[in-house]
Amino acid sequence: MVNAVRKIADLKRIAGHEAYSFALSVYKNYDAANQAGIPGAKESYERLSERFNGQGGRKPAEPLPQ
């Protein structure tokens, strides 16, 4: 039983990763289309940017106290 629960949890994690990766590639395509000036791309890019802004990247490291 524990093995089945672990496999289901793994599948959920993998499916989530796949969905996020696909959505991110769509977002990047709309970004490129927006920057290229393709009509209609700006609206879709702006809607998706609400989801992706603030994602990824690292915060700058805080300076060490001296």
Q: What's the pLDDT tens digit per position in 9-63?
A: 999 999 999 999 999 999 999 999 999 999 999 999 999 888 888 776 666 666 6
- What is the domain partition of the chain in residue ranges? 20-51
Which residues are within 8 A (CB) of 9 and not within 5 positions of it... i.e. 6 or more apart?
A: none
- Residue whose structure tokens are 């700006």: 42
pTM (two decimals): 0.68
Q: Identify the burial level of 52 via C-beta atoms within 10 angstroms of its C-beta, where 0-12 means exposed, 13-18 middle and 19 or more buried.
A: middle
